């Protein structure tokens, strides 16, 4: 039976999520990859235990994480039952619905029917009575936003989630969702967005500043740009990598251009000067201005958790470093 490290809270940074009372760890564990039916259960446990022992109290799922769909939640439910349930009160568990999940007209999108039914299924897979945060996973242009937000409000009032969030919403969509949820007095606390050194759309779109100004938490996913910001592709594309295997719908060999690799090499030089790996610097950079609550990191091995958490040892950037990085990324 797993016993958590008694010093687990000493080296993690915890940030208040917007203006809510909830604090999230600076690094949270994203379970998008490595927790499906195709993965090894013992390795999943090692990753989860390493994360929790490192002070990462937040574990992020979605209904269709796998493969197969639902299997990440099922595996998390098994590990909660076998080892982690004594620590449930110390954990923030989130899940989402919004992308395709089951066949037919009610297994996708943002309808009240889909969101409430999906969360019921997620809770069964997880073996829980409630999740801490439930997200609408993406905007649905075919459903009135008022219906989607009302469904999130119903979910909180039913006790099936403590807080709600949105994901992949741009500034205009976030503003509209915020207004509706404010009127309903729904505990809307967070937007989950893609953000990295190589993907700065939340800055140019304005949603990052809007969230900060309105007291909405921000949690960043894909902070290492699907592995590009680890430097693993600087000497070519490994056959067993995400880009080389041909199995990832999100990263292909053609996405790794010479221009992008030149930027990665230049960034790596700055990381060396800071005494960090490129990945550690890339994670620290997201936290540089205090406007991002938490960074979602994934892992296929527990060692990756240990290395990434070391980034918290240096999350300050001088103005000169920021200017050099901006020049490289421009």
H or E stretch at 161: strand 161-167
- Tell me, yes or no, whether 250 lies in a domain: no
- Tell me, yes or no, whether 129 lies in a domain: yes
Give the distance, in angstroms, between the CA of residue 269 and the centroid of all CA atoms in the same chain: 27
Q: What is the distance between the alpha carbons of residues 286 and 317, in angstroms, rounded to a whole number?
A: 11
Report pTM.
Answer: 0.94
- Tell me, yes or no, whether 119 lies in a domain: yes
Cα angle, residue 152 at apex, residues 146 and 154 outer, rounded to 5°: 100
pLDDT on residue 239: 44
pLDDT on residue 256: 75
pLDDT along the chain (330 residues), means of 10: 97 97 98 97 98 98 98 98 98 98 98 98 98 99 98 98 98 98 98 98 98 98 94 64 49 69 96 98 98 98 97 98 97
Which class for 33: exposed (0-12), middle (13-18), buried (19 or more C-beta within 10 A)? Answer: middle
H or E stretch at 134: strand 131-136
Instruction: Look at the chain and report how many structural domains it folds into.
Output: 1
- Tell me, yes or no, whether 51 lies in a domain: yes
- For 28, the 3-state DSSP assignment is strand
Task: List phi, psi (to 5°) of 267.
Answer: -65, -35
- For 76, the 3-state DSSP assignment is helix
pLDDT on residue 190: 98
β-sheet bridge partners, residue 297: 29
- Tell me, yes or no, whether 109 lies in a domain: yes
Q: What is the distance between the alpha carbons of residues 122 and 103, in angstroms, rounded to a whole number?
A: 16
- Tell me, yes or no, whether 252 lies in a domain: no
- Tell me, yes or no, whether 199 lies in a domain: yes
β-sheet bridge partners, residue 236: none
pLDDT on residue 245: 44
Beta strands in 170-259 (DSSP E): 188-194, 217-221
Sort residue 203 into left (φ over 0), alpha (ψ -120 to 50) or beta: alpha
State both tokens at 216: 């909405």
Full domain range(s) for residue 311:
14-228+288-316
Task: Characterize the bridge pairing of strands 217-221 and 188-194.
Answer: parallel
Q: What is the distance between the alpha carbons of residues 15 and 25, in angstroms, rounded to a whole number?
A: 6
- Tell me, yes or no, whether 128 lies in a domain: yes
Which CATH number characterizes residue 24's domain?
A: 3.20.20.100
Task: Characterize the bridge pairing of strands 217-221 and 92-97.
Answer: unpaired
């Amino acid at each position: 039976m797993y016993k958590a490290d008694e010093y687990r809270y000493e080296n993690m940074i915890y940030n208040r999520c917007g203006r809510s009372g909830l604090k999230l760890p600076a690094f949270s564990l994203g379970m998008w990859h490595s927790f499906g039916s195709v993965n090894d259960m013992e390795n999943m446990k090692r990753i989860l235990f390493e994360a929790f022992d490192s002070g990462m109290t937040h574990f992020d799922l979605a209904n269709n994480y796998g493969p197969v769909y639902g299997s990440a939640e099922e595996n998390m439910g098994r590990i909660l039952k076998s080892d982690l349930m004594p620590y449930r009160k110390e954990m923030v568990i989130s899940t989402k619905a919004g992308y395709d999940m089951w066949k037919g007209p009610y297994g996708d999108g943002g309808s009240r029917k889909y969101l409430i039914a999906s969360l019921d299924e997620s809770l069964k897979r997880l073996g829980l009575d409630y999740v801490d945060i439930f997200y609408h996973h993406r905007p649905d242009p075919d459903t009135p936003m008022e219906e989607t937000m009302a469904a999130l409000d119903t979910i909180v009032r039913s006790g099936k989630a403590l807080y709600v969030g949105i994901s992949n919403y741009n500034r205009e969509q976030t503003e509209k969702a915020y207004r509706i949820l404010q009127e309903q007095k729904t505990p809307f606390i967070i937007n989950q967005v893609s953000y990295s050194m190589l993907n700065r759309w939340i800055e140019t779109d304005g949603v990052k500043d809007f969230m900060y100004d309105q007291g909405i938490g921000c949690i960043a996913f894909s902070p290492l740009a699907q592995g590009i910001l680890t430097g693993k592709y600087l000497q070519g594309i490994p056959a067993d990598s995400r880009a080389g295997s041909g199995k990832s719908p999100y990263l292909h060999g053609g996405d790794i251009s010479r221009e992008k690799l030149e930027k990665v090499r230049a960034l790596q030089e700055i990381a060396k000067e800071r005494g960090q790996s490129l990945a550690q610097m890339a994670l620290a950079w997201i936290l540089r201005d205090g406007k991002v609550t938490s960074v979602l990191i994934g892992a296929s091995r527990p060692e990756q958790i240990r290395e990434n958490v070391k980034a918290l040892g240096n999350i300050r950037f001088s103005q000169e470093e920021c200017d050099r990085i901006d020049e490289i990324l421009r």
